[in-house]
Each structure stands twice: as C-alpha cells, then as structure tokens.
Structure 1
Amino acid sequence: MLGGNSRSRTHQRHVLGATAGACAALAVLGLTAVPAAADDVPDFRPDQWALASIGAQEAWDTSQGQGVTVALPGVSVDEDHPDLRDNLVVDTEFGGNGGDTDTGTALGALVVGHGHGMDADGGVLGVAPRSGLLVLPTGDGGPAEAIDHALGQGAQVVLLPDEVQQDEDLQAATASAARSGTLVVAPAGGEADPNVLAVGGVDEEGVLLPDSPPSASIELLAPGAVLSTAGPDMGQTDVTGTPYAAAVVAGSAALLTSEYPQLSTDQLRAALVEGSQQGTGGLPSLYLPSAVAQASGDAQDIPLIDDNLVEDDSPAVPVWMWFALVGVVLALIVIGLVLWVRRTTKDPYGVAAERQEEDQRIAAERAEQARAEERPSRRKGGRRRKK
C-alpha cells in the first residue's frame, strides 16, 4: 500500500453539481440548440488559444468525451472548484486529498473543465468537458498501484503528472494498461516506455518550451504555454509546462475514445500521432480534426462488439444451467410417462365399465319390483244383487 495508508482509510467522494450549474455548463459548451458562435452564448475559446490551436471546437461536433474516465494519479485537487465538481471523483485509496492542489486542479481542468456561470468570465473549458476525472492522490508513494486501481475502476485514459521514472512496477503497470486498452500519457523527458505516449510542449508560436526535453524523447507536441485553466481560490490561472501539454493530449485521447471505443491502444495512439500536423523540428503536432479522420478510418471496419470473444469466451448460458435445464426436461418427461401409463392401464379391458352397467341394471329391476309390491290388490267379484 502506497503512502502507508491502510484499506480502512479508503474514501471516495463524488461531488455532484446543482442542476442550475449543470444547465449553465451546457449553455457554455454550446450543447443547446443555439450555435456556439451565436451572440448570446459565451465563448471561452478566444482566451484559451490551445483549444483553437488543436481544433477542439470541430471535434466537439461529434464528441465531447462523454462516457470516458480519465485517471489522474499522484496529485491532489480542489474538489470544490466550480469548473470541476460536476464530473470529478476523488479516490483516497492511496493517500489523502489535500495540501498543494494547484497542479492537480490545473491539470484536471485542462482535461475535463466544463466552465461555470453564464458569462465569458465564468470558468474555463477542458478538451473533453463531458468526460469524468478520477483523481488518485498517492501521498509519498509511486503511481504504479494507483494505475492498476484506476484500470479496475474502468479508466480508459491515464494522465501521469510527472515524467516516467525507471521503475519496474511502473513499467509493469503501464504494460497492463496497454493490454487492457487504456492509453497512458505523460510528459516527455523521462525513462523511455513503449506503453506511454510522451508529450512535449510548445507556445502559441509553435516553439518548444524553454525547458523542453530533447526532441528525441518527444512523440507528440501539444500546447503547453500560458494555458488558461482552473486556479486557486475557485478562480482561474495561466500555467506553462510539459505536464500541461500532456493534459491537453489526454483530453484529446478521451474525445477519440468516446467517439471510437472499439479502437485498440495502438490505434488510438496512431490516430493522435499520425493524424497530426507537422510541428517544430519536424515533430508531429496535435490536431484533432485530422486525428478524428484517421480514427474514423481505422474504426469503420471494426465492430463495437467482438463476436469471437462473445462466442468463445463468454457463453450466453453457464454450463451448470445447461445441466439444470436438462434435468428439468427429463423430470417432466418421466412424470408425463407415469401419468399416461396410469391412465391407460386403469381398466384396459373394460371390466369395470361392464360391472358398473350390470349393477345399474340390477338396481333398476329391484326398484321396479319394489313398486309393484306396494300396489294394493284388487277385490274379486262384485256387489250382491237384492232379491
């Protein structure tokens, strides 16, 4: 157990926003019948250049990340922040949520921030504003066990807040995630891990951040400078750094997963990397419209349900139930045979019927004889004549 926490201290809190707040968020996201570009619908994107840079608004025409959970291990988060509280779960299985929440809150909002209020100053939007965020503080421990726990909770994307370190347990956890169809995203610059998508950051001009890792360690570029996101005191702030670029990519992965859940981890990764634009130094730079196009092409021949898995590994009826059904059928057959035999062997030669008929005839004759004996006898002769 990481951080010295026992299982008895596990606590999970799911903060649900009020109905009015949810309605406001829908209006902000342009999910109502009114187009997002209309004058009466606020638009945060002019102040969030990263969303415009990666073409998020075009991707939102088909998906906003609904039905997808993004796990964020190793940080704490302000679970009362209005830009997060409608789609946030904080699981303290491996550590308490508290202390420094600035980094976790900023990362989380870049992924799933949904805004709040009815004016343009009301919060910020993440790349996948309708996805869920599973935050797993880990205290002083590493993220390996938290990743495994997140997989058990159904997370489809994992965002690591720090560079990947040389850790056998961590590499085993990322390999397990890849096998289960979960994409792990992390800032570039750490230990090379084939199961982790390593992300570098650029500014609004497409230039690498000053403290960027070597280009050879970067697999995909994304906006990472002066990003408007959720900040302290229920407000907003601007952040810069490679981890925040990784958060933008994690949100993009959630969008694609929501729209094309049948894609494998490798296909999802290829859609993000190969379906990109050329960036600085020839590195691929994230661009959602082309990534969606590639994902769509890869997914069109893949059924949402694997028929082979259904037939081979998931029998519709358990074996014990088959035996029970056969037993019931045999019992019904035996009962039917017994009833038929009893019915057909009760009076096979009609003796009982003849005896009953004879008894009825004798009874009728005796009744007639008894009536005859009860009649008065007639006197013989007539009246004597008078002389």
Structure 2
Amino acid sequence: MRTTRTRTLVALGVCAALAAGPLAAPSAADVADLGVDQWGLDRIGVDEAWEESRGSGVTVALLDTGVVTDHPDLDSVTVGPDLTGQDPDPGSDGYGVHGTMMAGIIAASGHGVEHTGGAMGVAPQAEILSIRIATEADGPERAAVEPGALAEGIRRAVDEGAQVVSIPLAAGGFSAQADDAEREAVDYALDNGVVVIVSGGADGEAGYPAAYPGVLAVGSVGSDGTLSDFSSRGEHIALTAPGEEITVLDAEGGYTTVTGSDAAAAFTAGVAALIRAEYPQLQPHQVVEALTEGAEAPAEQGQPGYGAGTLSASGAMAAAGTTAENVPPFDPELAEQLADDPLVPRWVLWAGGTALLVLMAVVGLVVLWRRSANPYDLPRREPESTAESGRRPVRGRRRRGRGRRGVSR
C-alpha cells in the first residue's frame, strides 16, 4: 500500500465563492465541483447499481487498524472491539489511518447539500463495523496482524451480525503459513451466510488469508484496466478492481490517495454490500458468483492475476438478480416483526396451553381412578337376567323328606 496525502481544502473554495458573490447562490456546477475525483467509482459503473441499491440495512465488518468516527463523510460507523491488546482512544494521533481509508471506499456518504461534497463510497448507506486487528506502521506498509486477532475478529464480526467481512490487508499483513483457527473462523463465517472478501496480496504466491477456501481474493488494476505491477499473479485471484491512486478519506479530516490491492478489496466489499441489501436471500457463494459472473472480461482473458475480469457493480447486480429469481425471498424485517409480534397473540398461546394442561390433568385423574378400582384391568362380570334363563328364582325353599328336626317316630 502506498499513500500520498493531498488534502482537499474545500473550505477555501467555499470562502472564495462567497467572497465573489456573498448574496448569490452557488450554481449546480459549483456545488458539484466540491466533490473529489473518484475514477474508481466510474470504472465499476456504480451509478447504475445505485438505482437498485445503496447498501441500506447491511453491515460490513472492516477488520483493519480502526476507523475514526468524526470524518464528515462517514455517517454510520460502529467502533467494535480492539483485538491488538493496545486499545487506544479512537481520537488519538495515528489511530485508524488505513482503516479510515478503506471505510471511505466502502461506505463514505459525502457531505453537504444532497451529499454533493466530499467523497462517496460504493455502498453509501451501509454501516461499517470497525474491528481493530492490526496496528499502524510508520512505513508505506502496515505492521503484521496480531497473532490470533484475525480469527477472533472474523468470529466477532459474524456474532455482531455483519453480512460482509472485509479484510483489506496490505502485503505486510499476509502470512505464508495457514492457521487452523483462521481457517475455522472463515468456515464459521461462510456457514452463517457471511461473505468474506480479502485483498489478493503481492507477488505470485498466495498468502493467507487470501488462500483460504471460500474467501474472495481481489487483485488491482489501474484506470486503463491493466493489471497493476504490484498485484499478485496467483491463481487464487478471483477478480480485479481499481487499486491505483484511489482518492480516500484521511483520518485527520480531508482526503488523500492510496495504491494497493487493499483498495481493490474494499471496492469489491462495497459491491457485495449492494447485493446483500437488494437480495438478502442469496448465500455467500451465490454473491461471489454474481461478482465474478458480472465482471467485465479483460482483453488479457486467461492471463494470471486477472481472474474473471474487472469488477462491475451493475454487472454484479444483474447477475445477482438472475440468481435470485430461483431463490425464495427472505424479508429480514418481516422475520424480526414476527419474532416481536407473532401471528397468534401471546395471550391466546397462554390460554390454550393452560386449557390443555387442565384437560390432561382431568384425563389423568380419571385413568388413575379406574385403575385403582380394577387394578388388574379384568373385564366386568354382567349379572344373568331372569327373562333369559326361563326359571323362577328359588327363595328359602325347604327340602321335604326324612330326618325332620323335632319329629319322633
């Protein structure tokens, strides 16, 4: 990752406009000029995708160096756990430099009238859940991820309800060795319906976490669609996205630029958020398929490092829509409503349950009484009726004959 600080002094431009005409309202062109140049958004065709979705209701967990919450272009940021063991104040110097850059690519919403100023992210209505797993580095690359922090961060993201996990690591954050805890955490995310997107790394070999099965590894291209020199040429690369001289948010306020496959991964995570917002019923592998099937095929088709092609927001949305036609829709708001207010009122459930218990108790008492009266469960003996026998009952008849008492011969 390489960064170049080029602060945009929007305030000076506004003051100059007021000085030129303090009582005149700025024209539409003047307002539009307050925005920063973002060739990456144009390259992936995000305007067309925004007609369907802007990521509303989706949480993207960003596993990085933290995100500041006071930048004017970031509206929805939740500060999650700090797994580095340092736990610094989010407002301290040097906090969240890289994480804020990536958060802006994913979900910046601009500022000013109708959000025409500043920078926009791919999914401006998505929420960022910041989970700090790495520290900042003084050089152009970040320090390595804290041991165990990545695996725990993925699990915490899933437990907090994230639908997308973005791990935009620079080269310094990759490991040459696989880790069982990290692999199990990735599987845990996929099993719970969470899409995991990581930067593809540098050089030709696939480092971890990019090489774990199920994750989507992203390479970098320039504005002309050519694979970046620093981007990995490994077969693990699934697709590419803009990653050179990308305008991003500066943690101190203002703007700067960043270059690296980490930026490309952030672009892809933003498009995944658009898909998840519009088609929440899709499984992680279906979201990944939509991203790759909707990619713009490069002229260098089949060349290592290009994957399926360059990220296309509109193409991915179209592919996701086709897949969703055969998948039963799921309405999370309805599910939440039914959880709070079931179709059958609770008092009816309580009354029915009580009545059932009383009935069972009565039946149990009757069975117990019958068994106590006839413990061996023998059949009842019916008395023989007189009409059926044809004989008259004999009552107290004395036999005649000899040997009567009191008679002497």
TM-score, structure 2 as length reference: 0.64
The correspondence of residues 94-243 of structure 1 with structure 2, limited to 5 A, is 94-95=83-84, 96-97=87-88, 98=90, 99-118=94-113, 122-138=117-133, 140-141=146-147, 142-162=149-169, 165=175, 166-189=178-201, 190-191=207-208, 192-243=211-262
> For each residue in 1:51-80, what CA deviation from the matched residue of structure 2 results, as whole angstroms up to 9, or x when unmatched?
111110000001000000000123122221
> For each residue in 1:245-271, what CA deviation from the matched residue of structure 2 results, as whole angstroms up to 9, or x when unmatched?
000000000001100000011110000
In the TM superposition, residue 93 of structure 1 has moved relative to its aligned partner by 4.8
* 2:300 pairs with 1:281: yes
Which amino acid in structure 2 is aligned with residue 183 of structure 1? V
4+ residue runs of structure 1 moved beyond 6 angstroms? 43-46, 314-318, 330-333
- Partner Cα distance (1:44, 1:201) in 2: 28
State the secondary structure of the residue aligned to 1:245.
helix
- More displaced 10-residue stretch of structure 1: 112-121 or 66-75: 112-121
> For each residue in 1:284-308, what CA deviation from the matched residue of structure 2 results, as whole angstroms up to 9, or x when unmatched?
11112121111111101222249xx
> For each residue in 1:178-211, what CA deviation from the matched residue of structure 2 results, as whole angstroms up to 9, or x when unmatched?
1111110001132311211000010101111221
* Residue equivalent to 1:64: 54
**Structure 1 residues 93 and 300: alpha-carbon distance in aligned structure 2, compared to 1, 3 A threshold:** same
State the secondary structure of the residue aligned to 2:197.
strand
- Partner Cα distance (1:329, 1:40) in 2: 78
- Partner Cα distance (1:245, 1:175) in 2: 23
**Structure 1 residues 121 and 287: alpha-carbon distance in aligned structure 2, compared to 1, 3 A threshold:** closer
RMSD: 3.1
**Structure 1 residues 276 and 45: alpha-carbon distance in aligned structure 2, compared to 1, 3 A threshold:** farther
State the secondary structure of the residue aligned to 2:118.
coil
In the TM superposition, residue 174 of structure 1 has moved relative to its aligned partner by 0.8
- Partner Cα distance (2:275, 2:127) in 1: 14
Q: How many residues matched? A: 289
- Partner Cα distance (2:315, 2:114) in 1: 31
In the TM superposition, residue 158 of structure 1 has moved relative to its aligned partner by 0.4
In the TM superposition, residue 332 of structure 1 has moved relative to its aligned partner by 10
* Residue equivalent to 2:268: 249
In the TM superposition, residue 164 of structure 1 has moved relative to its aligned partner by 5.4
State the secondary structure of the residue aligned to 2:219.
strand
* Residue equivalent to 2:17: none
State the secondary structure of the residue aligned to 2:300.
helix
Question: Which consecutive unaligned segments of at least 5 residues does structure 1 have?
Answer: 1-37, 334-387
Match of 1:294 among 308, 319, 330: 319
**Structure 1 residues 331 and 268: alpha-carbon distance in aligned structure 2, compared to 1, 3 A threshold:** same
* Residue equivalent to 2:79: 90
**Structure 1 residues 247 and 89: alpha-carbon distance in aligned structure 2, compared to 1, 3 A threshold:** same
Which amino acid in structure 2 is aligned with residue 186 of structure 1? V
In the TM superposition, residue 330 of structure 1 has moved relative to its aligned partner by 6.4
In the TM superposition, residue 316 of structure 1 has moved relative to its aligned partner by 8.5
- Partner Cα distance (2:314, 2:225) in 1: 18
* Residue equivalent to 2:19: none
Query: Does the CA contact (< 8 Å) of 1:42 and 1:119 recur in 2?
Result: no
In the TM superposition, residue 108 of structure 1 has moved relative to its aligned partner by 0.5
> For each residue in 1:207-242, what CA deviation from the matched residue of structure 2 results, as whole angstroms up to 9, or x when unmatched?
112211124231111001111110142101111100
In the TM superposition, residue 145 of structure 1 has moved relative to its aligned partner by 0.6
> For each residue in 1:64-101, what CA deviation from the matched residue of structure 2 results, as whole angstroms up to 9, or x when unmatched?
000000001231222211111x2000113534255442
- Partner Cα distance (1:332, 1:122) in 2: 74
- More displaced 10-residue stretch of structure 1: 294-303 or 138-147: 138-147
- Partner Cα distance (1:205, 1:93) in 2: 38
Query: Does the CA contact (< 8 Å) of 1:54 and 1:286 recur in 2?
Result: yes
TM-score, structure 1 as length reference: 0.68
Which amino acid in structure 2 is aligned with residue 152 of structure 1? D
Query: Does the CA contact (< 8 Å) of 1:164 and 1:193 recur in 2?
Result: no
**Structure 1 residues 200 and 45: alpha-carbon distance in aligned structure 2, compared to 1, 3 A threshold:** farther
State the secondary structure of the residue aligned to 1:177.
helix
Which amino acid in structure 1 is aligned with residue 263 of structure 2? Y
**Structure 1 residues 41 and 331: alpha-carbon distance in aligned structure 2, compared to 1, 3 A threshold:** farther
Which structure's residues are more often helix, by fraction? 1
> For each residue in 1:3-40, what CA deviation from the matched residue of structure 2 results, as whole angstroms up to 9, or x when unmatched?
xxxxxxxxxxxxxxxxxxxxxxxxxxxxxxxxxxx758
- Partner Cα distance (2:115, 2:356) in 1: 67
In the TM superposition, residue 121 of structure 1 has moved relative to its aligned partner by 8.0
- Partner Cα distance (1:280, 1:116) in 2: 38
- Partner Cα distance (1:157, 1:288) in 2: 16
**Structure 1 residues 43 and 241: alpha-carbon distance in aligned structure 2, compared to 1, 3 A threshold:** same
State the secondary structure of the residue aligned to 1:108.
helix
- Partner Cα distance (1:231, 1:121) in 2: 18
Identity %: 38
Question: Which consecutive unaligned segments of at least 5 residues does structure 2 have?
Answer: 1-27, 135-145, 202-206, 364-409
